[in-house]
Chain A
């Protein structure tokens, strides 16, 4: 059963993409750790950290593509799932600081000591254990997606209405996490991490491993997403996107289909947030900002929604552009991003990968048509007589 699922997942493009990502997972850390700094192929740590961040964004865009590109649910709240995964990881990292904090409290993180709290709030318990935190990385975003989706899909909130309330959801969480008494560090969020599983988060080796892990998780999620969209379920998903009521009248429970996809997507977003936090060293409520969620949408749109590979490319390209512009022309970045939103929706609705694929398909169809034409011609000539065939030779 699972093998069938995986075999369907690995079509040619996906196999190539996964191979490339896995190669990156090995080669980049190897270059960083094994080659000396003056070697032209050496990748400095800051570049690796930057690209590690892009990989997390790519995973987030992939998660969004699953719900938007295939199921037609434009979520403007995926940053919330990303941030929740990040906070779960951040809480683990906070607990690892132990008595090395500024106030030296063995249990309470600095901000709680600062707020004069006497004991750890109940929801912080267990986060000193890595396995528990990792489960929470999946469970918390998944649970939020489940509760939200259970209500929204059951009552058939659709299209832009759904987009608007997902935005309201992340906005509400943004406001909530800004509050000090929520117990998540308020405005400043969680930061000053020391180590992860006993390894310093600053060390080159740890960074290399985190980079490799990001790439591997991206490959794994790509495999799962591909398995989903290439199964019969994936076809139903596209059916929901294109003609929801037809799917309903065929007897499918559309709400369950959407809910499953939404939860899977939220969990992937949670994973990307969890990988993001140790690499950038901070998580704060700003990650919940509605603008962030919309930015994810544009990465996906640029790369090509409904293509799986497109969002990965889009996320890396747009973020590389952002890093470049904010460094070189800081005032110009928002103009460029805004123009990108407009240009993609007006001129490139299928995104880069979608447009390329469309072009390739039309070339293929053209060649096939030509081939049939040629074959017919050949047949005609064969009928006409042996002389012409000889002439052709």
Chain B
């Protein structure tokens, strides 16, 4: 494993964490290569969200190593540091700034200096303006740019959140259940969007929707009880007897 560490984008080895005796992660090992789009499936309580919490610095592991970009130790950094390093995260429940307009949401997410005084005296440049408009196109929300985040539909909020992650210009995107609660049409469109995004960066998607994962057509990791159960193509994983027993059901 140590050989893959220098060139992999994200590297988790032997990560364990427990809450009051309950082992949420049990020596989990997991590697993401640069430019890869990866899907993660697994039953509830398999540790999917906890894994994301650990990568983004929200939870500290009890043991194990987490490295980003080869040599950066993520267990020593907090959320803001990690976000600035280039890891973006989309929550399970869409989280956008509801009392800001779509435009302001993107402006805030833009990867610019984030200090107190640079934000206090920030002025929108032509370059930033162009970038926001470009993202608005990508997430198909140009016509709603002056509407408040609160007034968007559920699917549009999901897209706005993905757009905010794009504005952050991350090297790695963690996306937690992006199509939960979406219509079929929205789901299909989201799959296209994610594939588009994955052209220029690595993306890890956690999802329950097997159809959606089939649409993505990428390498799949199945987690159960805090460790990796199986890894491979969707067909390989969905035929694995352990996966069937633990997750898909007989």
Instruction: Judge A-B direct contact (beta carbons within 8 Å).
Output: yes
Within 8 Å of chain A (Cβ to Cβ): is B231? no
Tell me the nearest residue of chain B to A1, going by C-beta: B121
* Contact across chains for B83 and A236 when beta carbons are under 8 A apart: no
* Contact across chains for B114 and A252 when beta carbons are under 8 A apart: yes
Tell me the nearest residue of chain A to B164, going by C-beta: A250
* Contact across chains for B89 and A232 when beta carbons are under 8 A apart: no
Within 8 Å of chain B (Cβ to Cβ): is A256? yes
Interface residue ranges of A163-208 to B (CB < 8 Å): none
> In the bound complex, what is the Cα–Cα distance between A254 and B122 (angstroms)?
17
> In the bound complex, what is the Cα–Cα distance between A228 and B122 (angstroms)?
11
> In the bound complex, what is the Cα–Cα distance between A136 and B97 (angstroms)?
38
* Contact across chains for A233 and B119 when beta carbons are under 8 A apart: yes
Given A5-B120, A250-B164, A242–B114 Cβ distance below 8 Å? no
Interface residue ranges of A226-278 to B (CB < 8 Å): 228, 231-233, 235-236, 238-239, 242-243, 245-254, 256-257, 260
Residues of B within 8 A of A246 (CB): 91, 95-97
Within 8 Å of chain A (Cβ to Cβ): is B225? no
Partner of A239, one of B56, B108, B111: B108
* Residue of B99, B119, B168 ringed by the most chain A CB atoms within 10 A: B119
Interface residue ranges of A1-59 to B (CB < 8 Å): 1-2, 4-5
* Contact across chains for B99 and A251 when beta carbons are under 8 A apart: no
Within 8 Å of chain A (Cβ to Cβ): is B163? no
Given A246-B96, A248-B80, A251-B84, A233–B116 Cβ distance below 8 Å? yes
> In the bound complex, what is the Cα–Cα distance between A228 and B121 (angstroms)?
9
Given A235-B108, A238-B97, A250-B164, A228–B114 Cβ distance below 8 Å? no
Interface residue ranges of B79-111 to A (CB < 8 Å): 79-80, 83-84, 88-89, 91, 95-100, 104, 107-109, 111
* Contact across chains for A256 and B97 when beta carbons are under 8 A apart: no
Instruction: Please report the total number of B residues contacting A with Cβ < 8 Å.
Output: 30
CB distance from A265 to the nearest CB of B (A): 14
Q: Per-residue 0/1 for B104-143: is the Cβ within 8 Å of any A Cβ (1 yes, 0 no)?
A: 1001110100111001111100000000000000000000
* Contact across chains for B119 and A242 when beta carbons are under 8 A apart: no
Number of A-B contacts (CB under 8 A): 79
* Contact across chains for A251 and B95 when beta carbons are under 8 A apart: no
> In the bound complex, what is the Cα–Cα distance between A248 and B168 (angstroms)?
12
* Contact across chains for A236 and B164 when beta carbons are under 8 A apart: no
Q: Per-residue 0/1 for A346-368: is the Cβ within 8 Å of any B Cβ (1 yes, 0 no)?
A: 00000000000000000000000
Residues of B within 8 A of A252 (CB): 80, 114
Partner of A232, one of B95, B97, B119: B119
> In the bound complex, what is the Cα–Cα distance between A252 and B120 (angstroms)?
13
* Contact across chains for B100 and A256 when beta carbons are under 8 A apart: no
> In the bound complex, what is the Cα–Cα distance between A257 and B115 (angstroms)?
8
Tell me the nearest residue of chain A to B109, going by C-beta: A250
CB distance from A268 to the nearest CB of B (A): 16
Given A249-B88, A251-B84, A252-B80, A233–B95 Cβ distance below 8 Å? no
Partner of B108, one of A248, A250, A254: A250
CB distance from B175 to the nearest CB of A (A): 12
* Contact across chains for A251 and B83 when beta carbons are under 8 A apart: yes
Residues of A within 8 A of B79 (CB): 245, 248-249
Partner of A249, one of B83, B111, B122: B83
CB distance from A327 to the nearest CB of B (A): 41
Residues of A within 8 A of B58 (CB): 245
CB distance from A167 to the nearest CB of B (A): 27
> In the bound complex, what is the Cα–Cα distance between A247 and B88 (angstroms)?
11
Residues of B within 8 A of A5 (CB): 120-121
Interface residue ranges of A308-341 to B (CB < 8 Å): none
Given A250-B83, A256-B116, A231–B122 Cβ distance below 8 Å? yes
Partner of B114, one of A2, A235, A243, A251: A251
Tell me the nearest residue of chain A to B97, going by C-beta: A239
* Contact across chains for A248 and B83 when beta carbons are under 8 A apart: yes
CB distance from B68 to the nearest CB of A (A): 14
Given A242-B99, A243-B95, A232–B83 Cβ distance below 8 Å? no
CB distance from B109 to the nearest CB of A (A): 5
CB distance from A214 to the nearest CB of B (A): 26
Residues of B within 8 A of A239 (CB): 97, 100, 108
* Contact across chains for A231 and B120 when beta carbons are under 8 A apart: yes
* Contact across chains for A249 and B89 when beta carbons are under 8 A apart: yes
Tell me the nearest residue of chain A to B78, going by C-beta: A248
Tell me the nearest residue of chain A to B104, going by C-beta: A235
* Contact across chains for B121 and A238 when beta carbons are under 8 A apart: no
* Contact across chains for A231 and B108 when beta carbons are under 8 A apart: no
* Contact across chains for B80 and A4 when beta carbons are under 8 A apart: no
* Contact across chains for A254 and B120 when beta carbons are under 8 A apart: no
> In the bound complex, what is the Cα–Cα distance between A238 and B149 (angstroms)?
13
CB distance from A349 to the nearest CB of B (A): 14
> In the bound complex, what is the Cα–Cα distance between A250 and B115 (angstroms)?
12
Residues of A within 8 A of B168 (CB): 250-251
* Contact across chains for A257 and B116 when beta carbons are under 8 A apart: yes
Given A248-B83, A249-B83, A252-B114, A242–B97 Cβ distance below 8 Å? yes
Residues of A within 8 A of B114 (CB): 250-253
Interface residues of B (CB under 8 A from A): 56, 58, 79-80, 83-84, 88-89, 91, 95-100, 104, 107-109, 111, 114-116, 119-123, 164, 168
Q: Can you spell out 7 A-B residue pairs with CB atoms less than 8 angstroms apart?
A: A233-B119, A233-B122, A242-B97, A245-B79, A246-B97, A249-B83, A249-B89
The 6 A-B residue pairs whose C-beta atoms are closest, nearest first, are A251-B83, A233-B119, A232-B122, A251-B84, A248-B79, A233-B120
Beyond A228-B120, A248-B79: 7 further Cβ-contacts under 8 Å?
A4-B123, A232-B107, A232-B120, A243-B95, A246-B95, A249-B88, A250-B168
